[in-house]
Chain A
Amino acid sequence: MEKVIPKWVFVVDLNSCVGCNACMAACAQENQTPYWSNKWRTKVEQLEIGEFPEAKRVFFPHLCMQCQNTPCYYACPTGATYKTEEGIVLVNHERCIGCEACVIACPYGARYPYESDDVDECEKLYGEEARHTTPHIDKCTWCYHRLKEGLEPACVETCPTNCRMFGDLNVDSYVSRLVLEGKAIPLSPQLGTEPKVFYVTSKETPVGVVSHHLNEPPYKQTI
């Protein structure tokens, strides 16, 4: 029998994100990311849209979009950035020379440098279980190591309001239907990167509006 390769998709329902940041805490520990240097693989952006009393507080979770058409992958000069057969974009830590071309190439601000001070701290905290033993550019992997074991990404598993959801387009599910029926849409599709993170737009704040706000400073600077 031919092996069926999963078509993983990540769906965020903006209606139910309450901005609790559980995803950030879960990811930071699952992936030993340098929270001590204020660097995160996933974040919940907070925006204020409109003026009081009509002002809206918007929570916007974001993470690596695992683009089908992958700017960071093309930008990488050493081949450190590679894609798994499922299309998950990963970084080979040893091959990465830290040139940051990928950081610049990524239109979603999903990459950051895991610097040598961070490696020191990681090893201090996690000892022989440390997963970052050399400086490199780091990014969200959708918890690829968990996926391979049949587990959801850590942020999805813990999301208190189930706003983060995970699924396989090959399998009929609530998640895959949201994507296939067009109820969940990508962020900034005009960039042509074909992201695999899809947002269920909230009643009050269409993704387009969020996208417009996110591209303004200080967003670019904080990532």
Chain B
Amino acid sequence: MNVTRRGFLKGMAATSVATLVGKKLLTPEQAKAIQTKNIQYTYKPNICNFCANACGIKVRVAYVDGKPNRLMKIEGNIHHPYNRGVACARGQSGISYIYDKDRIKKPLIRIEGSKRGEWKFREATWQEAFDYMMNKLKNIKPYEMALMGGWQGCAFYGTYLLPFVLAAQIPTLFGSPIQHCVGSEHLGLHTVFGNYNTHDEVVCDYDRAKYILAVRSNGSLAGISTGRAHRFGAGIKNGAKVVVLDPRASELAAKADEWIPIRPGTDNAFALAMLHVILREQKDGKPLYDEETLRYFTNAPFLAYKDEKGNLQLLSDVDKDGAVEAWYVYDEASNSVQKVFGFYNTNKISKDGKNLKPALFTNNLNVNGKSVKTVFEYLIDYTKDYTPEWASKITDVPASTIKRVAVEFATMKPAIIEPGIYDSRYENTIQLRKTLAIIQAITSGYDKPGTWVTGGSYKMLIKDFFEFTKKNGNKITIPIKGYPDVDIPGMLRVLDVGFKYFFNPKAWTHGYPSIQWAYLQTELSKGKEATVFPFITDNGFYESTKKEVFWNGQPYQIKAVFIYALNLIRGDVETQRWKEFLTNLDLVVGFDTMPSDTMLYADVIFPDIPYILKKDIVFDINTSHDYSFGTREAAMEKDGDEMHALDFMYMLSKAMNVPWLDKMAEIYQYWKWDKEELNQKCEESWNKYHTIVPAIRELQLRMVAGELKEYKGVTKSVKELDEEISRKGVINVMDREELMAKYSVPWHQPVPTPSGRMEIYSNVFATLQNMFGYKPNYDPLIAYIPPKWKGDIAPEDVKLEENEFFITHGKIPLQSHTCAATVDNPILVSIGKWREGVYYGIWINESKAKKLGIKEGDEIIVVNAMYPNLKVKGKAHLTKLIRPDTIFIPAAFGASSKKLTYGGSLGTPLNELIPYRPEPVIGGYRANEFTVKIVKA
């Protein structure tokens, strides 16, 4: 990709230097130098790191006289199957991050005698910083350590982190925090579809959709996830109808044919009423749901009963290992009760090979002495009271609108309910998302053109796993036995890793489970409640430093943390709590690129290589509908002592003397590496280049070569593939249409739920119900949970005072959670400041604000009405684009690090307004479940 731009430069810049009229005048030597220099531009492929979408980009580098001289610009990589050659404002702005004078380029050690949070650091060599860390770690046991990683760790290196913590016997991993990341957003969807890949949203086929319904979700489309926005734009041009529920006119709502400014936090009432309508209304004598799909590819026809506690259970046969061997259905063809496989994609055949037509409706059926009905019949029962009229009172949306949207959604197919990044959170978010997923499933909107489409590599993971389960009697245990943990697809991997390792003290030589699990057990033993599925959540960390977490009767305390690309102080809620937590630790190790608010609390910081300067390993592109692989090329040499995260882990594993690579070969066989060879190649590479990346990459490309041979019949050497991927950034193995035709889920192979079917009745939630007792939060079917803005006052009865508001938050296109990299980006800051109110302000309805005497740009204080000690400052932005009873605060702002030159003091730190009050399932932040009062500053 060489383009010569010499002609342009000569014409416009070079000749002008001789006749300058301004005060800047180059010396004749300088002018001549420029005129005679041969400037060429080369493009290097990379993967954007300015949000978790991981778009393909290419970086334009200016070469002067054949040497790389300067990074010039970023463009989208046309070869990349996700973003197809386009890049958003963030993606475009990566260059100024590299040249940001605030970026950390050398290892830093906190100056002795200084306090955490003060930013008193001195530069050090790697060796000195590393020795400093190892010396401090000497007296800390592995179970007293925790790895805390942001989405970079998760999206790119999560699969390498897991073997590391297992090898190092560190049972506590913390992701993102998962609660405001994928956990509370998407768990509800996962329970139905089992999808949980790295950044687990499916990418919808908006291009071919006729109807797109979004419940907030600004970040996942317009606000902006570029690959999705790209398809969304095509969908609009192709005439899709767009309906958006959001209390404010987000970028996405601006594109809606119908913007429904729903009362915040009441979406689950809207969704339940939609479900109510779709289950009951008909069109042309046919139901609005897809009968065939329900019958054959969901667990809707499974027979269920209420146990003695009144909990809904599925009828099943369980083997001695706890694997479900069979589920029960009523077969309409033979008028008899039949058994279907424990783990399979369809109910078309019985366990003993008969063709079935499972019934959705039964009549007073009694099996094994139990009165049973189908899951579908229970679903209809459960939704009985959730009429549009009922929802109307709660949502402030006319019943006729709710009904119309439901009918439109079910009849204007293919239709999509946006499944991606979600914005604001309530206790009901998980059940809301589950209801939305059920609507998507029962209208058959999965893995088909114009609907939710799963990624190519994800389909391939399922393919191998399906073959394994077929060989093992079409049943699975949880945790899964005899299969590499990391290779397990989706939700099943999360269940496996959770129950096999993090929640299981026996998995560790020291006998300690993760701090999160110990915290849960501590609370339960006191008769209290806590997060029941604390999978890499933030629960128990703070409490452990207060000596409030126990294991085997002894206090269990986190003493050292490794923080990788995570901005705990800005990303987690109730900042003060986390400042205290970090202050109370014995050691805080940071690995990052920017002096974020969190890095201020480190004892030692190691500089990560910023993505543009990073030559990387190979990734399967899981956001791609194609089966493809991608990587990063270093656009220029790194300009400091930065190191790749995997190399840091390699150094650490050597220093701690733990078999990281052995464990990797054992539980992560996706790349088909051999234990000895992996160790040997990494060692050679380390000795030669001081990085293991080339070794890993070589072995990965060998696997890619194998896939190309197997699926395309193409023979290419590793060297050829390395050349190709270095040039294009992407290697494609199989395209979407072929994958859809052979491997779509659940049509050709199971979805990775515990039963393999799309689960209307969630077996994951049933497990929680049976372990911890019923709660509507994890009702296996559906539940209505009202937003608790004012304790237990029902939403329809809540009255607001004159200066009192509901609050909603959400993403804006200029920012994402990048540990200050986007917050401090000069270009993004400039664009943001140009529309300061819109992007940095606190949105208040114009006429409401006038009544309160508030003008545009006025300094205001937002006080949490439920927890008045929590308050934040900001500038008012007056707008007609928000409900009069609601304010909006953009997410990801309010950095206070004085080390951030450009964006350090802008915007409002939303997280300081939110109390730490996790909901019971996965500890999601009830980030908007209170009211606020506005006072002029």
Contacts and interface: CB of A to CB of B under 8 A. Distances in A.
Interface of A: 13, 15-16, 18-22, 24-26, 28-30, 35-36, 38, 40, 43, 46, 48, 50-53, 55-59, 93-94, 97, 116, 119-120, 123, 125-135, 145, 148-149, 154, 157-163, 203, 222
Given A22-B88, A22-B91, A46-B835, A16 B249 contact: no
Nearest to B249: A57
Given A18-B233, A22-B224, A38-B834, 5 more contacts: A24-B831, A116-B23, A128-B39, A158-B92, A160-B233
Contacts of A56: 249, 254
Contacts of B87: 22, 26, 158, 160
Contact of B827 (A13, A35, A55): A35
Contacts of A222: 834
Given A53-B261, A94-B19, A128-B64, A38 B830 contact: yes
13 contacts: A15-B236, A18-B251, A20-B813, A25-B89, A26-B75, A26-B87, A29-B74, A50-B880, A52-B882, A55-B880, A97-B21, A158-B91, A160-B224
Contact of A161 (B8, B72, B229, B880): B229
Contacts of B7: 148
Interface in B826-865: 826-828, 830-831, 833-835, 838, 845, 847
Nearest to B222: A18
B884 A52 contact: yes
Contact of A145 (B12, B24, B34, B69): B12
A128 B69 contact: yes
A186 to B, nearest CB: 20
A93 B16 CA distance: 7
Nearest to B7: A148
B750 to A, nearest CB: 34
Contacts of A25: 88-90, 92-93, 827-828, 831
Interface in B241-283: 249, 251-255, 257, 259, 261
A38 B830 CA distance: 6
Nearest to A43: B834
- Which of A35, A120, A145, A163: most chain B Cβ within 10 A? A35
Contacts of B257: 203
B349 interface: no
Contacts of B92: 22, 25-26, 29, 158
Contacts of A154: 73, 75
Nearest to A30: B73
Contact of A119 (B9, B22, B93, B95): B22
Q: Considering the complex of A and B, which 8 residue pairs feature the smallest CB-CB distances, nearest first?
A: A161-B233, A25-B92, A18-B222, A57-B254, A55-B880, A20-B813, A145-B8, A25-B89
B89 A59 contact: no
B827 A29 contact: yes
Contacts of A19: 222, 251, 254, 813
A183 B752 CA distance: 47
B830 A35 contact: yes
Contact of B230 (A38, A119, A162): A162
Contacts, number: 204
Interface residues of B, number: 81
Contacts of B19: 94
A218 to B, nearest CB: 11
Most buried by A among B33, B70, B86, B90: B86
A40 B7 CA distance: 25
Nearest to B74: A29
B234 interface: yes
A129 B882 CA distance: 45
A133 B20 contact: yes
Nearest to B257: A203
B86 A158 contact: yes
B232 interface: yes
Interface string B389-431: 0000000000000000000000000000000000000000000
B5 interface: yes
Interface of B: 3, 5, 7-9, 12-13, 16-17, 19-24, 26, 33-34, 37, 39, 62, 64, 69-70, 72-76, 83, 85-93, 95, 99, 221-224, 226, 229-230, 232-234, 236-237, 249, 251-255, 257, 259, 261, 813-814, 826-828, 830-831, 833-835, 838, 845, 847, 879-884
A56 to B, nearest CB: 7
A53 to B, nearest CB: 5
Contact of A158 (B39, B75, B234): B75
Nearest to A96: B21
A183 to B, nearest CB: 12
Contacts of B24: 116, 119-120, 123, 133-134
A119 B17 CA distance: 12
Nearest to A37: B830
A158 B69 contact: no
B881 A20 contact: no
Which one of A52, A97, A154 has the highest number of Cβ atoms from chain B below 10 Å of its Cβ?
A52
Contacts of A38: 830, 833-834
Contact of B237 (A15, A22, A93, A119): A15
Nearest to A15: B236
A209 to B, nearest CB: 15
Given A21-B831, A52-B845, A162 B234 contact: yes
A132 B249 CA distance: 39
A138 to B, nearest CB: 12
Contacts of B74: 29
Contacts of A20: 88-89, 222-224, 229, 251, 813
B89 A24 contact: yes
Contacts of A59: 251, 254
Contacts of A134: 16, 20-22, 24
A133 B23 CA distance: 10
Given A28-B827, A51-B880, A162-B230, A16 B237 contact: yes
Contacts of B827: 25, 28-29, 35
A178 to B, nearest CB: 11
Nearest to A52: B880
Given A18-B813, A52-B881, A160 B93 contact: no
A40 B832 CA distance: 13
A29 B22 contact: no
Nearest to A35: B830
B8 A148 contact: yes
Given A38-B833, A131-B12, A48 B881 contact: yes
A158 B237 CA distance: 17
Contacts of B8: 145, 148
Contacts of B834: 38, 40, 43, 222
A181 to B, nearest CB: 15
B251 A94 contact: no
Contacts of B813: 18-22
Contacts of A46: 835, 838
Nearest to A18: B222
Contacts of A28: 827, 830
Nearest to A13: B237
A50 B407 CA distance: 29
Contacts of B33: 128
A59 B69 CA distance: 38
A149 B880 CA distance: 45
A36 to B, nearest CB: 6
A215 to B, nearest CB: 19
